[in-house]
Structure 1
Amino acid sequence: MIGKIGTGKSFRGCLNYLFEGRLQQTKAMQLHEMEKKQAEVIAYNQCFGDKRQLVRDFIEVSKLNSNVSKPVFHLAISFAHGDAGKLNPQDKVDMAEKLAKEFMFHNNQYVVIEHSDRQHQHLHIVANRIGYDGKTATDSNSYKRMAEYCRKMELEYKLTKVLSPNKFLRPEQRVSQEKRVDQRKEALKNHLLQAIKQCKDLPALKKYMEKQGYAVELGRGIAFIDKQQVRFKGSQVGYALMDIEKKLKQEQLLKQQQIQQQRLQEQKQQQELTKEQEQKLNYSKGISI
């Protein structure tokens, strides 16, 4: 499993994203984005209500310590594709509670949201760093603490093990970051190359890449998120959205040309066969005469 953590200024912005997804260009596209997210609250702590009520309550409590400019804790836990079905709803709630204790906001307001918009399970926890006593949950060493938490949960729930970031590993355990990135980029490029060859349009390509385990973000550009939650823009691997659309058209044109050439070849062969049959027929008639 992979964990991510960040702090922010806006509870409204964070919860809007988790419930509604990325901002789309049209209302219809936004509704589709929301349906795709399938956001479901599976646990509340020291708070309750819909998105609007949560935002209001979080903001009210954060005012107890106006010196903190970033009162939002946003934590995400992503599980490997092969771990699908291993965790029941209570397991997920328990894991969120353990994460809250790890970061010392277990007595604060927080909400646990599950998304079903990808082929693997993942959770989001939005927490108020400010407690009812006005004290602030620290974000010190947050990345290291998150990595350690993930390794503990993998052992406890028998989940797929993932390497922690290099800086949290012993020297003999470390893998070249450049090698990690290059391998992921190369895998993505190979999958995109096959997708372009096999797919007739962008929706078909998106569906193909999702079957390969990638989450696909489509908007003004295109981005891919692999099973390890590493995100690459298409342009980072030489396949920007415009390039993909262009290559798809070229591939379709090439296929049409090949089909036309094949048909012409078949027609030519048929004509030659017909001519040969006619010659044989004329020859046979000449003999008869």
Structure 2
Amino acid sequence: MIGKVVTGKSFRGVLHYLFEGRRQESKELQMQELEKKQVEVIAYNQCFGTRLELVREMIEVAKLNPDQSKPVFHFSLSFAHSDAGKLGLQDKIDMVEKLAEKFDFKDHQYVVVAHKDTDHEHLHIVANRIGFDGKTASDSNSYKHVAEFARRMELEYKLERVLSPNKFLKPEQRVAQSQRLDNRKEALKKHLQAAIKQSKHVQQVKKYMEQRGYEVDLGRGIAFTDAQHVRFKGSQVGYALMDIEKKLKQEQQLRQHQEQNRQAQLLRQQQEELKKQQQQEKEQQQVQQYTPSIGR
């Protein structure tokens, strides 16, 4: 599971994104965006209503601490492909309640939204850092705390384990994680080597890697995310996009050379077969020429 947290200024902005998606140029496109996101609200806490009603309610409470310029907590919890179907609705609600307790907003306003617009399950939690008593939930070391929370939930709910960032680990844990990263890099390199040998262009490499469970980001560069959500740039394993294109060209030239050699060898075999056949015909003619006729 991957946990992320952002501290922000605008309830209106984040709730619009969660309920309606990115702003589009027309109403028709906005409806398509909404349909794609497949929004489902699975829990409310100390608040309720439509998107606009939630915005108004949270802004009103945030006014209890006007000196706080960033009253918004926005968490996302993303689950691995292999965890699909493991968590029931109540499991997800319980998990969010544990998150709220860890970040000290369990008595504050928050709403939990499920999205189904990607291949893996993920939840969004928008919380008011300002409580009804005017006190603010701390965002100190929030990145570290959400990573620790994700590791604890993986154990508690038997979810697929994901690596935490090195900077949040103890020295001995960093060594063990580095070994795991090395193994992942080696596996990625082997898959890429096989992909390049079987492909004629980058799009075929992308398709090959996706069939092996990698998410591929292809643009000005290339990056790969494995099933455990560990992401590597191509350059980190010696396969930047430029390197892949170069190797594809080399492989294509090698295949052309091998095909030329194969054709040349086939031609030689055909010439040898023809020469052998001609020799056999010549020998048969000589035998017929010097064989006495029957009855002479």
Query: Is the 8 Å Cα contact of residues 166 and 175 (structure 1) preserved in structure 2?
Result: no
**Alpha-carbon displacement from aligned partner over 1:28-64 (angstroms, at most 9, x marks no partner):** xx99xx79x85543435335546xx599659845862
**Counterpart secondary structure, 2:258:** helix
1:41 aligns with 2:46: no
Q: Which residue of 1 aligns with 2:203?
A: 203
Give the letter for the 1:92 counterpart.
K
Gaps spanning 5+ residues in structure 1: where?
24-29
- The 3-state SS of whatever aligns with 1:213 is coil
Aligned to 2:191: 191
Partner of 1:245: 245
User: What is the correspondence of 1:1-289 to structure 2 with a 5 Å cutoff?
Assistant: 1-9=1-9, 12=13, 16=17, 38=37, 40-45=39-44, 46=47, 49=50, 53=52, 57=56, 60=59, 64=63, 65-106=65-106, 107-115=108-116, 117-118=118-119, 120-131=120-131, 134-162=134-162, 175-176=175-176, 178-289=178-289
**1:115: how far off?**
4.4
| CA apart distance, 1:274 | 2.0
Whether the aligned pair in 2 keeps the contact of 1:47 and 1:57 (CA below 8 Å) is: no
* Preserved contact between residue 58 and residue 128 of structure 1 (Cα < 8 Å): no
Q: Is the 8 A contact 2:162 2:229 kept in 1?
A: no
The match for 1:27 is none
What is the Cα-based RMSD across aligned positions, in Å?
Answer: 4.0
Is the CA contact (8 Å cut-off) linking 1:42 and 1:93 kept in structure 2?
no
Q: Deviations over 1:99-144 (max 9, x none)?
A: 23332334323342334534x4443434443456654321124244
- Aligned counterparts of 2:179 and 2:254: Cα–Cα separation in 1: 35
> In structure 1, what is the Cα distance between the partners aligned to 2:19 and 2:280?
77
Q: CA deviation at 1:251?
A: 2.3
Q: Which structure has the greater CA radius of gyration?
A: 2
Relative distance call for 1:105 and 1:134 in structure 2 (3 A) is same
2:294 aligns to what? Answer: none
Residue type of the partner of 1:237? V
Q: Partners of 1:18 and 1:95 in 2: how far apart? A: 21
Identity among equivalent pairs (%): 55
Q: Is the 8 A contact 1:61 1:131 kept in 2?
A: no
Q: Which amino acid letter does the alignment assign opposite residue 207 of structure 1?
A: K
Output the CA distance in 1 between the equivalents of 2:181 and 2:53: 38
